[in-house]
Amino acid sequence: MKILSIDVGTRNLGVCILGVTLAPLAPLNAPTFSILHWEVIDLHASTSSVATRSCVGAFWSRPAFYDVDVVLIESQDRAVSKMRRLSNAIESHFETVRVVLGKTYRIDWSSGDVKLRAY
């Protein structure tokens, strides 16, 4: 399984593609994790609309972001409206790509402190 984890930020957008393998002979079926891609993208954004355009452009130039099983987006606090708008735009982008291009990944939200507990 491959998970694209997105740490939302208008200046520093963190992305990681994590490979997860369940080894049937490992003790207690413990998963094995490997980092397949790690990057911090500087969006150079002063407004949420600039951040959204920069973010979508950055995603399109990285086709590996769409070859995953799960897209995990960090939830944003209501008090930080600029970040919340960006995270919603990211979800909309991946949802649109999923529908238009027939991708099968799942889109999930998670708070920053529990991103990988469910996987």
Instruction: Say how many Å lie between the first and final Cα of the chain, rounded.
Output: 10
Question: How many residues are present in the chain?
Answer: 119
Calpha distance 106→83 (Å, rounded): 22
25 within domain boundaries: no
pLDDT in tens, the chain (119 residues): 999 999 988 788 999 999 998 777 666 667 888 999 999 998 887 777 888 888 889 999 999 999 999 999 988 776 667 788 888 899 999 999 999 999 999 999 987 666 556 55
SS3 of the chain: helix, strand, coil, percent, to 5: 35, 35, 30
62 within domain boundaries: yes
Count of structural domains, the chain: 1
User: What is the span of the domain harbouring residue 72?
Assistant: 2-18+34-113
Rounded to 5°, the CA angle 78-83-84 comes to 45
23 within domain boundaries: no
64 within domain boundaries: yes
118 within domain boundaries: no
